[in-house]
Structure 1
Amino acid sequence: MRGRRRLVVAVLALAVALQGGCRPAADPDAGRSASARGFPRADRPVARIVSNEFSTEDERDHLGEARLVMEWSHISPGMTVADIGAGEGYYTVRLADKVGDKGRVLAVDIDPGAIERLGRRIEKERLDNVSIRLGTPDDPRLPEASFDRIFMVHMYHEVAEPYAFLWHMRPALKPGGSVVVVDADRPTASHGTPPDLLFCEFAALGFRLAAFARNPGLSGYYARFEAVGPRPAPSAIRPCRLAANAAGALAAGAGPS
């Protein structure tokens, strides 16, 4: 009888052990959207979105911000451009004026309230060459092969899924098109992006740095990237490690190199 009890106890213990060993592994993509799954996670904190207004438009115009960025980006009449993270439309309305009636501007934001306010502004200022679109945190939802320039001004540090975001964005460029980033040189958690980390994340998606400059009027730096070669498969993307990219900073300059 005792032998039978020992056998029963042993069988139960084995069953418990096997059950514990067969537990499914934790999902590495838990909490991510379907369109971000399969891409590497970013090895960096992400700044919380606190406002759609970086500073007053008068202050930015006084510093010559938009004029300088559009000049360095070679914006000209007839171009088609995207303004991602458009917010209240500071760049949107100035880009619309620069590209003229034959050009087009698509303003994108993930905040429905900002999109609604921007829509009212566009209607009030009668900007017939501007369209608006609601994007997602990992996909700006841009039409393919449509843009000469894509602008990301003081917002890249808020992108929680940079690899998925850049992968979805890249096909939207026309041949010869480029992506313009303006950001502050400070940690992402402090509403900036260290330049070396920016370069690394863009390079992981097959972008080449075409121009870089620091300028006080930008409250940071200007970077422009061009797509080179085929877009990598999500599984082939090599993520950047924050510790390996924390030290670098390019020399200051008056204009893009």
Structure 2
Amino acid sequence: MAAASASLRRFAAIVALASATALLTACEIREAGTDRPASARAFPEPDRPVSQIGSNRFSTERARDERSEAAIVMEMADIRPGMTVADIGAGEGYYTVRLAERVGSSGRVLAQDIDSDTVDQLGQRVERERLDNVSIKLGRPDDPGLPAESFDRIFLVHMYHEVAEPYAFLWRLHPALKAGGQIIVVDADRQSDAHGIAPKLLFCEFQAVGFRLAAFNRRPDIAGYYARFESAGNRPEPDEIKACRQDIAGSRMRNNMAEATMPSAGKDVPS
């Protein structure tokens, strides 16, 4: 127990240091005539609309559990005891509390959201439910602020379509994975201003910043699709990133969406 507590304190200290660094670099500096934060302007703008951030409750927890959503996703993501996992856009904590149980006392969960009220409420839930293996932090729209080489899995569940600066966000997410770590995306196949994102566009944006697609499955039982990404090597410099065209979702893949990003035969591949 003492060793586990010490480990959790070390993890919390790393998270706190990452949070402080993110706050120092943020400063919300904006130039006249642009709504983009200064910290994102080295990256290309996305060629797509972005969903407005709405309620942080995607669905009732009871309804989600009735279709075994979290259990299905965690099984597909191979979540095991002792893992360190991040839940980005955690909202009210549906995945956070279930991940905490799954990884157990030897594992760690970092729950992050960009809304301070949501973070406060989630912190109260974590305290109320005595989730000793969970840390909470406030993130930024273009920077999750995660400590480097710290996570086996990073979850982006029904939230990626709300990321206004996807290239900056994913570029800064890349170093947070441990060797062999993976990013798990659950989203809906619809227009990105209607709380979803077309799979081909998702694949393209991830590839543009140094990830490759490892698995893809359409799953009505989780109200969308499941995609898993892993590092493809070194990430490009910000000025080397090419924005994906929105119409890639309805046409042949081209430019920075190479055939190599597609899953192997037998996987559920979007047409």
Quickly name the TM-score band, shorter chain normalised. Answer: 0.7 to 0.9
Q: Which amino acid in structure 2 is aligned with residue 107 of structure 1?
A: A
**1:52-91 alignment runs, 5 A limit:** 52-91=56-95
Q: TM-score, normalised by structure 2?
A: 0.81
Listed one character per residue, the Cα deviations across residues 120-173 of structure 1 (whole Å, up to 9, x for unaligned) are 000000000000010000000000000000000000000000000000111000
Q: Which amino acid in structure 1 is aligned with residue 99 of structure 2?
A: L
Look up the match of 1:122: 126
Please say if 1:236 is aligned against 2:240. Answer: yes
Please say if 1:152 is aligned against 2:146. Answer: no
Of the three residues 101, 108, 115, the one matched with 2:105 is 101
Backbone CA RMSD of aligned residues: 2.0
Following superposition, the deviation at residue 246 of structure 1 comes to 2.6
Please say if 1:44 is aligned against 2:44. Answer: no
Q: Distance in 2 between matches of 1:216 and 1:129?
A: 31
Q: Distance in 1 between matches of 2:217 and 2:59?
A: 21
CA contact 2:200–2:248 (8 Å) conserved in 1: no
CA contact 1:196–1:248 (8 Å) conserved in 2: no
Following superposition, the deviation at residue 30 of structure 1 comes to 2.3
Look up the match of 1:137: 141
Bigger radius of gyration? 1
Q: TM-score, normalised by structure 1?
A: 0.85
Q: Distance in 2 between matches of 1:255 and 1:164?
A: 29
Q: Which ranges of structure 2 fall in alignment gaps of 5 or more residues?
A: 1-30, 254-261
Q: Distance in 2 between matches of 1:224 and 1:173?
A: 13
Q: Which amino acid in structure 1 is aligned with residue 217 of structure 2?
A: A
Q: Distance in 2 between matches of 1:173 and 1:185?
A: 26
Q: Share of identical aligned residues, percent?
A: 62
Q: Which amino acid in structure 2 is aligned with residue 50 of structure 1?
A: G
Q: Which amino acid in structure 1 is aligned with residue 189 of structure 2?
A: D
Following superposition, the deviation at residue 247 of structure 1 comes to 4.0
SS at match of 2:193: helix
